[in-house]
Amino acid sequence: MSSPYPQNKLFSDEFLRQIPKTDLHCHLDGSVRVETLVELCREQNLPLPASTAEELNRVLFKDEYNSLEEYLECFGYVTAALRTADALERVGYEFAVDQYRIGVRYFECRFAPQLNATPGKLSVEEVLLAVNRGLQRATEEYNARPEVVSGEEPEYDYGIIVCAMRFWLPGFSPYFELFWEMHKHEEPRKIYGLASMSLITTAHDVKVKNGVPIVGLDIAGAEDGYPAEDHSEAYAFAHKRFLNKTVHAGEGYGPESIFQAITDLHAERIGHGVHLFSPEFVKHEKNAADAEKFVQDLAEYIANNRVCIEVCLSSNLQVIPELKGDLLNHPLKHMLYHHMAVTICTDNCTVSKTNMLRELRLCCDAFELSPHQLKDIVIGGFKRSFMNRPYTEKRRYNHKIISYYDKLARKNGIHEDPNRYYESKASAMESASARKLCTCTCGDGDTE
């Protein structure tokens, strides 16, 4: 495990492996093992642009992409191979194993079941049940380990987030093809919203009737030109059924996309949020001063209301040209400086060639995190999770996680000094202009 930045010697690779971690933003279809994809396509006689895992990692799963749209093209090949219950159960199982074996104790697996469903063969309900069987089987295996059964280590757990699509075409899947035909007299934007509503009502029914831990709703896909309000009815349904809400926003569009997520959809978390501090991308204000004021007010709201930002470093470097391939240009430095609620995530382990170990290594090294900051980020992931447990049980679990983290920190000679919280590269790099954009004072982090 390596990063292109000087290693933060406070944290060894082994320590980062041992500590309990979350991954709250990780797509199932973006994290399928490449070898599995090759096998599934061969079994189903499906085309791939290369015949071996090595070749696919060169021509399909690239190191860099020209745009978010090009990045998303990878998923067409994967979703086509995930339209049988056996395939979905297999990748669900492998997804969980890959997370758990590197110390992730809780993850939220997200995917768009409508991309996998095939009318007459595999329903959205059956898609959800198949993936859950795989996730559950792996979780039960890991929770049967002696160190977990004895209580020496915290147990493993997971949730499922269903993804609606901001935009789709009939060719995206057999399900969408039939859905479009059935609603062909509606305006396209209305159809997108209807599809989202169909998804969340089905998902809620599966949760209630089958006990599947479906914990939230998301919208994913192209942002520019496809506003959040198209999906407001689906989010209102989720809101009234006590399902949590996260939204991909501020990745392929500017701060206004984040504004739409929290005002139109009542998002509790934001996926990516890269352009939160980017007044130059604000379109509705006529001058720079008003754009800066809009961004400052938005950032203040996000911070004060503890709207958690799901930060995906490797993925952002691949698709966002403004970062210029360097994490030192990433707005995470501003988020850390202003004590925003953030959690580090992978986004797509296969497409971005990463995992939670690599993401934490990158974060620790690029921003020279202090022990207090690393603990704040890691424990914050557990606290901001949508875990499918009663609140009192979630609190007990989180306290167990904190105790286990502290035990490992002591064992590795890592000592917290809250007075040194600000002494990191994230603080040193904070420019006067960035301070002007967000002047929030939102407390001493989430681990207190």
Nearest Cα residue to 331 out of 245, 270, 263: 270
Q: What is the pLDDT along the chain (448 residues), one digit of tens a residue?
A: 668 999 999 999 999 999 999 999 999 999 999 999 999 999 999 999 998 999 999 989 988 777 767 777 889 999 999 999 999 999 999 999 999 999 999 999 999 999 999 999 999 999 999 999 999 999 999 999 999 999 999 999 999 999 999 999 999 999 999 999 999 999 999 999 999 999 999 999 999 999 999 999 999 998 999 999 999 999 999 999 999 999 999 998 999 999 999 999 999 999 999 999 999 999 999 899 999 999 999 999 999 999 999 999 999 999 899 999 999 999 999 999 989 999 999 999 999 999 999 999 999 999 999 999 999 999 999 999 999 999 999 999 999 999 999 999 999 999 876 555 444 555 555 543 444 444 333 334 444 3
Closest CA to 342 of 352, 332, 355: 332
The residues with which 249 forms a beta bridge, in sequence order, are 272
Q: Which residues pair with residue 246 across a beta bridge? A: 269
Pair of tokens at residue 218:
């998301």
Which backbone phi and psi does 159 adopt, to 5 degrees? -140, 165
CB 285 within 8 A of CB 249: no
Rounded to a whole number of angstroms, the distance between the first and last alpha carbons of the chain is 31
Rounded CA-CA distance 414/416 in Å is: 7
Predicted pLDDT of residue 63: 81
pTM exceeding 0.85: yes
Token reading at 78: 């994967």
User: Tell me, what DSSP letter sits at residue 7?
Assistant: -
- Strand 21-27 versus strand 342-344 pairing type: unpaired
Distances (CA, A) of 396 to 143, 318, 366, 391, 393: 17, 38, 33, 9, 5
Are 209 and 202 a contacting pair, CB within 8 Å? no
Can you read off the two tokens belonging to residue 231? 């999906």
Residues 197 and 179 sit within 8 Å (Cβ to Cβ): no
Burial class (CB in 10 A: 0-12, 13-18, 19+), 233: middle
Determine whether domain 13-437 maps to CATH 3.20.20.140: yes
Cβ burial, residue 54 (10 Å; 0-12/13-18/19+)? exposed
Q: Which amino acid, one-letter code, is at 384?
A: R
Distance of CA 405 to the CA centre of its chain: 22
**Do 383 and 398 contact (CB within 8 A), yes or no?**
yes
**202/218 Cα distance (integer angstroms):** 14
